[in-house]
Amino acid sequence: MGKYSLKSTLLFGLLVSLLGCEMEQDVPIPAHEPRLSLRLSLINLTPDTLLYISTRESQLFVGRSQGVLEDSEELLAIPDAQVELFDEAGQLVEIYTHTGKSYFGGGSYYWSDSTGNYSPGAYHYPPAPGFYEATKGFVPAPGARYTIRASAPGYKPIEATTTVPLEAAVSGVAFDGQRGEYGWEIQGNIRLTIHDKAGEQNYYRVRIYPVDSTYSRAGFSEARTVEDDINFDRDEKLRLGEVFSDESYTSGAIGFSSKISVTPEAFEYNNNNNNNNNNGNQKQGRKAKYLEVQVEQLSKEEYLFNKTLEAQWLTEDNPFAEYAQVYSNVSGGYGVLSGVTVSKFYVPLE
């Protein structure tokens, strides 16, 4: 019996030794073939600077994929792509051109005159290769289906298709706001009800912006949640600007209630010497009078892309977490084309 036990031990040790040697062998990594990628949300609003500033995903970005050994923290941009949008009948409805600037994150700059006062210059947007703008001003129609096609020298062409969702049915939009402790912000509770359609899965997002008496944007800052306390008739908690689905709500009515904070004034500066402060900087407020409440109904592609991207961010620095693959609906490449339909409502700020 001892003889067989010794033989088994020796055999086991030999196998472990062989496996150990095998594990130390180098595994060749296949060469990466770069492919085009794009990101664009088709929104039922005129594509212009205001839309690009407010909704970053509405401005087309074209880049390329990179291999696992490439060390690039920035998206690799493609500045010479040809990008076209077609409707369901195959008609060309939009052409995109490369501008090399992103409207998200821009700001105005100031220059000093001989008296030391500061005057505002033109609004400045930093260079950002890879960003494209619509040239025909086409506004996607809710319920319509569209296909985007992109090509660039040295890359295989790509395409993606999405359907712009119908408008969300919303009622009971109300806000009870009052000045905060220091007077520069207004806090209050926003309430609304989304009437969800039974028998289908729908996806939503809520955004809120301050606007003046002409319903023009008073600054570009979105309202923010306070204490992360948005509730949807249950214990689920979300924030303004985050996507959510109707999966957990079977009654047909999604009650949205949240305590929010918003800055009611957009500050500008000039070189008037009257009542100046801070070396000639004079605050001139463009005051907000209303809140523009945007209830967005999203295509499934927009929802899945945001959720999987969030999952990847959450697990990025965790070596024990399961790898999260970001959703893509681009054929021949990577990225996402999605649809968003915005319904706007206005409520008094105070």
Q: Give me the domain span that covers residue 285.
A: 36-348
Smallest CA-to-CA distance from 183 within 350, 28, 38 is with 350
Which range of 79-93, 116-130, 222-236 scores highest in mean pLDDT? It is 79-93
41-75 pLDDT, tens per residue? 999 999 998 899 889 899 999 999 876 656 665 67
Domain count, the chain: 1
Average pLDDT over residues 270-294: 59
Residue 2 within any structural domain of the chain: no
Q: Among all chains, which residue has been given the structure tokens 């839309």?
A: 51
Residue 68 has a pLDDT of 61
User: Would you say residue 12 lies in a domain?
Assistant: no
- Quick check: 228 pLDDT over 50? yes
Q: 87-99 pLDDT, tens per residue? A: 999 999 999 999 9
Q: Which of 55 and 281 is assigned the larger pLDDT?
A: 55
Phi-psi region for residue 266, left (φ > 0), alpha (ψ -120 to 50) or beta? beta
Give the model's confidence band at 178: pLDDT under 50 very low, under 70 low, under 90 confident, else very high: confident
Residue 51, domain member (yes or no): yes
DSSP 311-346: HHHHHTT-TTSPP-PPP---BTSEEEEEEEEEEEEE
Burial of 186 (0-12, 13-18, 19+ CB in 10 A): buried
- Domain assignment present for residue 7? The answer is no
Instruction: Provide the residue count of the chain.
Output: 350
pLDDT above 50 (res 271): no
- Which whole-number Å values give the CA distances from 239 to 41, 236, 312, 340, in the listed order? 20, 10, 19, 18
First to last CA, the chain: 90
Q: What percent of the chain has pLDDT over 90?
A: 48
pLDDT-derived band at 154 (thresholds 50, 70, 90) equals: very high
- Distances in Å between the alpha carbon of 53 and those of 123, 145, 213? 12, 25, 21
291 in any annotated domain:
yes
> Mean pLDDT across the stretch 291-306?
97
Assigned domain for 19 exists: no
CA quadruple 148, 153, 157, 160: dihedral sign: negative
**Mean pLDDT over all residues of the chain?**
80
CB 286 within 8 A of CB 212: yes
Least confident of 34-38, 226-230, 300-304, 333-337: 226-230
pTM over 0.85: no
Specify the pLDDT at position 142: 98
Classify the C-alpha dihedral 58-313-204-65 as positive or negative. Answer: positive
Asked whether the beta carbons of 316 and 309 are under 8 A apart, the reply is: no
Which residues make beta-bridge pairs with 146? Answer: 87, 162
Radius of gyration of the chain (CA): 26
